C-alpha cells in the first residue's frame, strides 16, 4: 500500500519584494526584510530584463530589541542561503527548506547598464 502526502498552501500570497530598475554598478541593493519565522518552504522567482545580475538570498535570526525587530547589520548578522547569477531575459526559480526568523534578498548589478529586476517570493508552512 502506498502513502500519498498532500500539502496545502498555508503561506501568504506572493510577495513582490523587488520590482524596479537596478542601476549599473550597484552592488548592495537589499530588499525589504520579511518576517518568515512561521514558514519553512521558501520559493523565489527572479527576472532580470536586460543585464545579468548576482542574486543572493540571505536570512537571519538576530533580533535587536524587545519588539522583535531584525538586525540590519547585513555584514555580520545575516547568513547567505543561496547565491546565483541570473541571466538577462531568462527567468530563474529557486526553492528551499530552511528555518530563520527573517529573510531578504541582495542584488548586485556588475554591468555598466541598468536592468529592470523583479523578485517574486512565496513562503509556505
pLDDT at 104 over 90: yes
DSSP 69: P
Contacts of residue 66, defined as CB under 8 A and 6 or more positions apart, other chains included, come to none
Phi, psi of 75 (to 5 degrees): -70, -35
Q: How many CA atoms lie within 13 A of 34 on its CB side?
A: 22
Give the Cα separation of 106 and 116 in Å (integer): 15
Contact at 8 Å (CB) between 44 and 119?
yes
Task: Quickly count: other Cβ atoms within 10 Å of residue 23's Cβ.
Answer: 13
Q: What is the pTM for the complete model shown?
A: 0.89
Residues 113-125: tens digit of each pLDDT: 999 999 999 999 8
Give the Cα separation of 53 and 32 in Å (integer): 18
When pLDDT is averaged across residues 35-58 and rounded to a whole number, the result is 96
Amino acid at each position: 500500500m502506498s502513502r500519498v502526502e498532500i500539502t496545502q498552501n498555508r503561506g501568504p500570497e506572493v510577495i513582490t519584494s523587488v520590482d524596479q530598475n537596478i542601476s549599473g554598478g550597484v552592488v548592495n541593493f537589499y530588499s525589504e526584510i520579511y518576517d518568515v519565522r512561521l514558514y519553512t518552504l521558501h520559493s523565489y522567482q527572479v527576472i532580470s530584463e536586460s543585464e545579468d545580475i548576482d542574486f543572493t538570498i540571505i536570512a537571519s535570526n538576530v533580533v535587536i530589541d524587545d519588539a522583535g525587530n531584525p538586525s540590519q547589520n547585513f555584514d555580520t548578522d545575516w547568513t547567505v542561503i543561496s547565491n546565483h547569477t541570473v541571466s538577462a531575459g531568462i527567468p530563474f526559480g529557486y526553492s528551499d527548506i530552511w528555518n530563520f526568523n527573517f529573510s531578504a534578498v541582495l542584488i548586485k548589478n556588475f554591468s555598466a547598464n541598468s536592468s529592470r529586476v523583479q523578485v517574486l517570493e512565496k513562503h509556505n508552512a
